[in-house]
Amino acid sequence: LSRDPSFTNLNPSAVAGAIKSTRRGGNEAIQFSDSAAGDVYYIGVKSEDQQAAEYGLIAAVSNLPFSDCDGFACVLRPILPANPTVPDGSPDRPGGLPVIFPGPIEQISVRRVLVTNTLTHDSPADLVGTLTHNQQFATLYNHRWPDDTLPVEATRTTLYDDSREEFGTIDGIPRLTTDGPGSLQFFNGEQGQGPWQHFSIDNSLNFTGRVDGMTLLVERQPNLSDFTFSLADGGSFNVATNIGPGAVKLTVLVTNVTGNLAIYVRRDIPPTTTLFDKRALISPPGGSLELTSRDVPPLSPPGRYHIWFLDEVDGVRQDDIKAQVIVE
């Protein structure tokens, strides 16, 4: 992407000075936060593997930034179509509405993702909605019938959260887990930069609706070599680490523990209290979990390991637990 008109003639200096997005995966995004009325941009797309390809191209402007980032998280806003109607469809010919998020303007490592979605539809159970990024996906709603007292055709706002860290409503908005397949936890440990895509699909005839609004909250992964977190009574906290080739041991160390705490670790898929690769029960003041090539199942690099800290229900919260994730 360049403001130099000689870019269209492949002027070497213009090409060299152009802003580029060259990630893997086939989805790219470039954002400018200093555009002004009358600015002209020149766009080029280049195949890097000497093969022909089809591609889609979207150019959009907004009076609000597509991402707002701070030290904790990035709030992502979409390129919402002027007519956000989800076309009526059938199982053979489903109708669909794509909602594209250009993504964070800076690279971040993802700890967790929360989705706030506002929908209006005459028959909400007609819809399937998926969120995809970096070849990971979560099915937010999958022919779900509303579990509330509102009229069927009412506008509904829902917060989707698979983290198991918080429960109940937030500002009156119901908090739900996703229907699946997939999970928002599959994004944990991913790089957040680049496009995020939501598709709302109608594959049941006779009713229509629209996507009124949508935002993503993409929380940053802490520095896993030294981080702090707090747990409500029975609360939990998630992180993920990507293990490179040649690793022989994964250690999770916690200190300043004031109550009973469980650590669960699992490769590729977030652990549960019954499905995990290894578990450690920690008592005050702290302890560790070690996963090595001699465990069953063994540490299997390369791969992503999800780590889940879970507080025991005892009526007491734990503040400022200190943790380290060490890979050797």
Domain ranges of the chain: 1-59, 65-220, 227-327
Q: Which of 224, 240, 244 is nearest to 299 (CA)?
A: 244
At 118, the pLDDT band (50, 70, 90 cuts) reads very high
15-19, 39-43, 147-151, range with the lowest pLDDT: 147-151
Residues pairing with 238 in the sheet: 308
What pLDDT is recorded for position 169? Answer: 74
pLDDT band (50, 70, 90) for residue 147: confident
Lowest mean pLDDT among 170-174, 197-201, 204-208, 223-227: 170-174
Between the two ends of the chain, the Cα-to-Cα distance in Å is: 41
What pLDDT, on the 0 to 100 scale, is given for residue 83?
A: 86
Fold of 65-220: Jelly Rolls (2.60.120)
Facing residues of 200 across strands? 97, 129
Sign, CA torsion 107/112/117/123: positive
Residue 255 pLDDT: 98
Between vectors from CA 233 to CA 231 and to CA 239, what angle results, nearest 5°?
30
Contact yes or no for 76/218 (Cβ under 8 A): yes
Cβ neighbour number for residue 202 with a 10 Å cutoff: 24
| Global confidence as pTM | 0.90
Report residue 42: phi and psi, to 5°: -115, 130
CATH superfamily of the 227-327 domain = GOLD domain (2.60.120.680)
Taking residue 32's Cβ as centre, other Cβ atoms within 10 Å add up to 13
Is pLDDT above 80 for 168?
Answer: no
Q: Would strands 209-220 and 278-282 be described as parallel, antiparallel, or unpaired?
A: unpaired
Place of tokens 């935002």: 215
Across 82-87, average pLDDT: 90
Token pair listed for 156: 């509904």
Q: What pLDDT, on the 0 to 100 scale, is given for residue 58?
A: 86
| Residue 56 backbone phi and psi in degrees, to 5 | -110, 150
Strands, E assignment, 66-162: 67-69, 73-76, 85-86, 95-101, 110-121, 127-133, 136-142, 155-160
Intrachain domains 65-220 and 227-327 with the same fold:
yes
How confident is the model over 264-304, as pLDDT tens digits? 999 999 999 999 999 999 999 999 999 999 999 999 999 99
The two structure tokens encoding residue 57: 């191209």
Query: Residue 197's pLDDT band (boundaries 50, 70, 90)?
Result: very high
- SS3 (DSSP) at 185: helix
Percent of the chain with pLDDT over 70: 100
The pLDDT assigned to 160 comes to 97
**DSSP character for 126?**
G
What is the pLDDT, as a whole number, of residue 143? Answer: 95
Q: Are 264 and 271 in contact (CB under 8 A)?
A: yes
Structure tokens at 108: 């971040």
Q: Two tokens at 219?
A: 């929380």
